Structures are given as C-alpha cells and as structure tokens.
Structure 1
Amino acid sequence: MNQVVFLVDVDNTLLDNDHIQADIKAHLERQYGAACRDRYWAILDDLFVELGYRDYLGALQRYRVEHPQDMHLLSMSSFLVDYPFANRLYPGSLDVLERLRQWGPTVLLTDGDVVFQPRKVERSGLSEAVNAHVLIYIHKELALDDVASRYPALHYVLVDDKPRILAAVKEAWGSRVTTIFPRQGQYAHDAKALASFTPDVTVDRIGDLLDCDLGRLLAAIPQLEAVRR
C-alpha cells in the first residue's frame, strides 16, 4: 500500500495531441488531397463516437475498404506509426514526471487503441520516464477498480486536461483523490465543463507543476496526515 500514487494523462496533458492531429491533417491534404483528408477525419470522428477513443489506424483501415484500389494510401500507416512524438512533448513534461516520482509511484493513465496509443507513449519517451508504468484503457474512468488493484494507495493525485474525466474520478473516489487540471489543448476553455466541476488545483501548463509546492499539497491530504501521526 503506497501512501500516494500519481496518475498522469498523456494526450494534451504531457503531449500536444492537438498539434499531432494538425500534422496528420496537413499530411493527408498534402499527400492525398483535401477530399481524402475530410473523409478520413469523418471516419475517425465516427469511430470516436462508436469506441470512445480515436482509432487512427482503424480509421485508415475503414477508409481503405471504401477505396480498395488506392495503393498510394498505404504509406499513410508508416507516417502514423513513425511519427516523431517526442517532438510534441509539452515543455517540462519529462521534468514533471521525474519530480512526481520523487514523491511516489507515477503512472501514465490514458485511453486509446492497442497499437497507436502504446506506440505514442513509447516513442515520445514517456514510457521510459515512468519505468513503463503505463495503463491504457478504453474508458479509464470506468476502470478505477483495476487501477487501484494494480497501484493500491491511500491517496491518488490525478493530472488530466479533461474536466469530464476529473469530475468522474472525483465522484468515484471523493476525498481519496486530488484532481489537477492543466489548462491545455482543446478542453482548456470548455466553459460548460468547467462550470460543472472545479478541480482541486488548476495550472496553466503542465510545466507549472514544477513550481507547485507538492510537499504542502500532500501535507494537506487528511489520509496522509493521519498516517504521519
């Protein structure tokens, strides 16, 4: 039983996923045309509604079913798999993970498919930064029992850019979790989501956590204070 475990999201928390998406769109348009780009993205959005996460390779396969004679498109899989994810880390991301590890076990907690998301985590250097402590679910907010069984702790600190996820985990775990919201990416200014939930801590950028007094934050957690006594 750990005193505290840090759970850190990947997309738009440690990694600029909006930039990655923009690069994918630009590559599709440049290599295959605007019509291809728009159709691929429509399929990707449909899969997101169906699956709950963005299945980039699955969308490519569905597009191929619609265009079985398009051999040129096959090279798109190489672009996705070989994308330089490390170039899209937010400033300070790796330093933040290193600092969190000084306070307790630090785990990447993310959603995604079984090929592209692990590849992203590995090639970005994030997996190595947390000694391969990586959990990838379809819906992570529905897998909290599994998270707790793998990394039991008196308290959890969750860092995530999505207010919806923070709210769901807070509802499930209550005072057992401290929620930290880095205001980055497409959800940073979601007025509706932010109005319905107030995180315990809000920072403008993930790198700002380097300036946070984690000792003071942890000292204010009742469960941990009781252990110290």
Structure 2
Amino acid sequence: MSAPEDVVFLFDCDNTLLDNDHVVADLRAHLTEQFGAACSDRYWEIFETLRSELGYADYLGALQRYRVEHKSDSRLLLMSSFLIDYPFASRLYAGAIDALARLRALGPTVILSDGDVVFQPRKIKQSGLWDAVEGRVLIYIHKELMLDEVAQQYPARRYVMVDDKLRILAAMKRIWQERLTTVFPRQGHYAMDTANIAQYAPADVTIEHIGELASMDLGAIAG
C-alpha cells in the first residue's frame, strides 16, 4: 500500500459536478414527446420503484422493466441511444472542472458516486469528469457504507467530501468524524429541499455552487 496522502478530495457526481436535474428534465421531455404523457409517467413510476429496491438510480434498468409492459413498441430501441449518447459534457456545472483542477494541486481528487455499473460510468466518462480526475473513480450502491474500501484505495490522513446531499455528508461524518471535512454545495433538488436538510446537522462548509471552489480561500477545507 502506498504512503497515505495528507488529504484526498472526494466528489459526488450528480448535482455536485454535473447538473443531473437538467438531464432528468431532458429525458422526461423526450419520453413525453416520443411516447406521450401517460407512458412517460409510467416509466418514472417504474424508475422510482426500482430506485427504492436498489438504493440508486437505474435509468436503463427502468427502461428494461418498461419494455416488459410494451414488448411490441419498437421505438423503445431508440431510447437507450438517447441516454447513452446524451451530451453530458454540456451539463457540467460552471467551474466544475476548474474546481477539480485547483484542488488537485493540494491532493488527489476522486469521484465517489452511487449508481449502476453501465450508465453511471458512461455518464462520468462522457462528461469529461473521468479524465479530469485521471481515472480515480469509485462507484458503489451505498458509498457511505464503503468508507473502509475508499480508505484502502486512496489512503489519506484527512478527507474532504463534496456532496449535494446532507444525508450522505452526515453519514460519512459519523464514521470518519474529525478526519473528514464536509462541503455542501446548494445545487439540485435535494439541496433545495428545506424539510429534508433540516433533519441533518450543517456541513462544515456550505457553498452556493461548485465553481466557488475554483476561486475561494481553501483554508477551511484544505487545512
């Protein structure tokens, strides 16, 4: 095992570096246009059911289940292309790549995400994020339960986690405690859900958008 870094910076993907709400809105509009509102609504019902079963968003898995109910609809064959060929690079938040580059000067940057093993890596690769972190990408079902493996893969004395979900930040803080600095970018629908975020303690650092990390004083984050 390599010697531990002084600090490793961990970044969520969806609604932290990449505007996934915008991706979902585009998919919803495309489904409605191609299949009608009723079929679109049914897809999202299946999607939410599958997410409750798996613990992560599985867009292609939901499409497979939808297909079982619509075996003769050949238009479904084009839906996977919409997802796989989506221009994810155009949905990166302003300053996301600059933030990764600036923090990389202080320690390794790692994408730590939840998701499936096909679509999520594709999203990270096609958006340019994979290359921006030089291939340091970890994708789990429940990343907050995998901190021992994270520490084994990227040993460090301290960690910084940047995530739009206070629930994830709070869960990781309970385990790593003072070893972890949590950063909460107020982006996306989870971060704007006041009832939800009221259930958790504030993050160590709160920012309004990810691009702030490219220019702000990093003393509170990097120590």
Superposed pair shares fold, TM > 0.5: yes
- Separation in 1 of the partners of 2:197 and 2:71? 44
**What CA distance in whole angstroms lies between the structure 2 residues aligned with 1:188 and 1:52?**
19
The equivalences for 1:1-229 within 5 A come to 1-195=4-198, 196-215=200-219, 217-219=221-223
Aligned to 1:100, the other structure's residue is in SS state helix
1:83-130 Cα offsets, whole Å, 9 max, x none, are 000010000000000011000010000000010000000000000000
The residue identity in structure 1 corresponding to 2:212 is D
Residue ranges of structure 2 left out of the alignment (5+ in a row): none
1:216 Cα deviation after fit: 5.3
Aligned 8 A contact 2:6 2:157 in 1: yes
Aligned to 2:175, the other structure's residue is in SS state helix
Deviations, residues 123-177 of structure 1 (Å, cap 9, x unaligned): 0000000001000000000111100000000000000000000000000100000
Could you say what the CA RMSD is over the residues aligned between the two structures, in angstroms?
1.0
State the distance in 2 between where 1:216 and 1:52 align.
32
Structure 1 residue 215, shift from structure 2 partner: 4.0
- Pairwise CA distance, 1:217: 3.6
Post-superposition CA distance 1:11-51 (Å, at most 9, x none): 00000000000000000011111111111110000011000
2: distance between equivalents of 1:42 and 1:71? Answer: 21
- Paired residue secondary structure (1:103): coil
Q: CA deviation at 1:212?
A: 2.1
Structure 1 gap segments, 5+ residues each: 220-229
Counterpart of 1:20, as a letter, is V
Higher share of residues assigned helix: 1
Return the alpha-carbon distance in structure 1 between the equivalents of residues 93 and 75 of structure 2: 33
Q: What amino acid is aligned across from residue 156 of structure 2 in structure 1?
A: A
Task: State the TM-score, normalized to the length of structure 1.
Answer: 0.93
Q: For structure 1, which segment, 68-77 or 174-183, has the greater mean C-alpha deviation from structure 2 after superposition?
A: 68-77
Which amino acid in the other structure matches residue 45 of structure 2? A
Determine the structure 2 residue equivalent to 1:227: none
CA distance in 2, matches of 1:217, 1:71: 51
Give the Cα separation in 2 of the matches to 1:194 and 1:61.
33
Cα distance in 1 for partners of 2:101, 2:221 equals: 17
2:204 alignment partner AA: D
How far apart, in 1, do the equivalents of 2:74 and 2:197 lie?
45
The 8 Å contact of residues 32 and 73 in structure 1, kept in 2 or not, is answered as no
Q: Which amino acid in structure 2 is aligned with residue 72 of structure 1? A: R
